[in-house]
A and B are shown apart, each in its own frame.
Chain A
């Protein structure tokens, strides 16, 4: 009963000085808005990075050629060409808990159909690539093991390539030229859209690995081997087995450096996850500082208001208000400012986050947790910074307060 009266009193006294109330609230509004907007940007970055990594497939190990080390001079990673299709076959056949193995070789080529031509990345793969990359076909078929075995000149193209070379014609069955040799298109992929790095993932041409090696690029090695492990907790075991197998196959003596690298995407993901979480927390903390500044504003104004209303406090005490009555009255006022400011801030913050993603072309993620946390923090700020002025008001001596002019 008394509490609802105190709420009404606080509401009226805030309403009596609307401009001042609004300006005080502004600190909280800006604080909560920036917490929500910045955290949503941080979480957007995190989501992008993690999506990118997981798009490469889950439980993935990537085997890459190592760097050259001749006479103490170390070259860049991949500067030696040591991995072969046979290595990939050996990994698949000899190591347990491996579900898919996909070696690739790549090159950039001019692709021609009729009068149209287009420069794109041509990747030599085997059929398992489809499973590992979770590709889907819009029309036609993917090439088979047989195509790989006999080095057929067949190609599967991405939608971007299809659009640029064929416009509205169905490309399946048509012949394109890649580096002077004709290839028959047997399938078109479904769109995967842009990667967050801005790469068009649909701008690709896939041909059988052996065809690419021998008929197009003219090499015997592979650029990388993607290995998908069947279970997440077997990652480390499979990784060390691959390392052992390849050292053996490449005849590397004990103590000598590997001529290849096995990268674990899960550990990369964990690392990126923790570093992007740090970035998000940092952004949130910086925004949180503005919320604290807003709280200092509340304290400042409430202190001024206590002084201004000394006489009112004296009157209230004279007619029977207790310490906690007066304390609550001022505490409710400061909390009301922070709660209303918090709600407005959440509204503006959500709109701002959506505006950033719409107009800034930047992924933002609004999480319930960041909304709840910033609202909770605003509430805490209101109570914490209202406490000092409220205690000051409640402790006033009624005789002194009544005499105050």
Chain B
């Protein structure tokens, strides 16, 4: 299987006054196509920074990040925006839907920035809504939906452009148990149909759903466990 993500020697350094702080301090990571990865770690571990870099919202200070074989660490803001648009789908903890747009319009928004025509946009958006079984809520505003439904709309938006990676940042953090179950069910279904999913969470229960669990601590990957193989790569 081809590597979707190839990260080598990535560091993210911040200047705090005269001191330099490393949010990421030498990370190497390979993610294959179709993998379902849970990214774990306590707050302040560098897990969010890693996710931002993986999601092309941020660039590494040092090191190389190849996404689908393309080096992206040196790209401009606009080039990164185009990659986020076509190659990456985001799901956030607090849904981040635009409150004044209907579900369908929210889902169609990435296609707007891709420059697609109205017909094509709406059919892509409707297909994505069907995948999360919300086609009957297409004309509802986010305010008229439950938390679980809103997150399903957000997932539909993330998968509408058929991205290479689906990134979910604590997608069930604001949901009750029942909705959490529904959302995780959707992720498992997407995984079965071949999507590459990176799930950021600090809840071990949620991480169980993934095939592979990666633990980040103090800016480094300290553990990388794949389910099904008893092999535990304990790095530190």
Interface SS of chain A:
helix
For B90, the chain A residues whose CB sits under 8 A away are 318-319
- Let me know if A267 is at the binding interface, CB within 8 A: no
Within 8 A of A (CB), among B75-121: 77-78, 81-82, 84-86, 90, 92, 96-98, 100, 109-110, 112-117
The answer to whether B57 and A319 have CB atoms under 8 Å apart is no
Is the CB of B217 closer than 8 A to any CB of chain A?
no
Docked complex Cα distance between A1 and B82 (Å): 17
B85/A319 in contact, CB under 8 A: yes
- A321 and B57 in contact, given A1-B117, A2-B112, A12-B100 (Cβ under 8 angstroms): no
* Interface residue? A99 (CB, 8 A): no
Does residue B179 face the partner (Cβ distance < 8 Å to A)?
A: no
Instruction: Across the interface, name the chain B residue whose C-beta is closest to A325.
Output: B113
User: Whole-angstrom distance between the alpha carbons of A315 and B95 in the complex?
Assistant: 10
- Nearest chain-B residue to A324 (Cβ)? B78
Instruction: Among B57, B84, B86, B98, point to the contact of A312 (Cβ < 8 A).
Output: B98
- CB contacts under 8 Å to B, within A317-353, are 317-325
* Given A1-B115, A399-B52, A399-B57, A320 and B96 contact (CB-CB distance below 8 Å): no
A320 (CB) vs chain B CBs: closest residue:
B85
Shortest beta-carbon distance from B126 to chain A in Å: 18
Closest to A6 in B: B112
Segment 140-180 of B: residues with Cβ below 8 Å from A: 157
Please indicate the chain B residues that have their CB under 8 angstroms from the CB of A5 in the complex: 112
Known: A16-B100, A312-B98, A315-B98. A320 touches B114 (CB 8 A): yes
Is B58's beta carbon under 8 Å from chain A?
Answer: yes
Q: In the assembled complex, which residues on chain B have CB atoms less than 8 Å from the CB atom of A13?
A: 100
Q: Is A402 part of the contact surface with B, judged by Cβ < 8 Å?
A: yes
For chain B residues 41-60, which have a beta carbon within 8 Å of chain A?
Answer: 52, 55, 57-58
Separation of A316 and B90 alpha carbons in the complex (Å):
11
Give the CA-CA distance A314 to B98 in the complex, in Å.
11
Q: How far is the CA of A318 from the CA of B77 in the complex (A)?
A: 11
Shortest beta-carbon distance from B13 to chain A in Å: 16
Find chain A residues with CB under 8 A from B78 CB.
322-324
Expressed in whole angstroms, the Cα–Cα distance for A315 and B100 within the complex equals: 13
The answer to whether residues A311 and B81 also contact, given A1-B117, A319-B157 and a CB cut-off of 8 A, is no
Residues of A within 8 A of B113 (CB): 2, 316, 319-322, 325
Q: Are the C-beta atoms of A399 and B81 separated by less than 8 Å?
A: no
Nearest-neighbour CB distance to chain A for B141, whole angstroms, equals 12
By beta carbon, the residue of chain A nearest B58 is A399
Contacts of B92 in A (CB 8 A): 402
How far is it, in angstroms, between the C-alpha of A296 and the C-alpha of B113 when the chains are bound? 30
Contact of A386 with B by CB under 8 A: no
Interface residues of A (CB under 8 A from B): 1-2, 5, 12-13, 16, 311-312, 314-325, 398-399, 402
Q: Which residues of B contact A (CB under 8 A)?
A: 52, 55, 57-58, 77-78, 81-82, 84-86, 90, 92, 96-98, 100, 109-110, 112-117, 157
List the 4 shortest-distance A-B pairs measured between CB atoms, nearest first. A320-B85, A320-B113, A322-B78, A322-B81
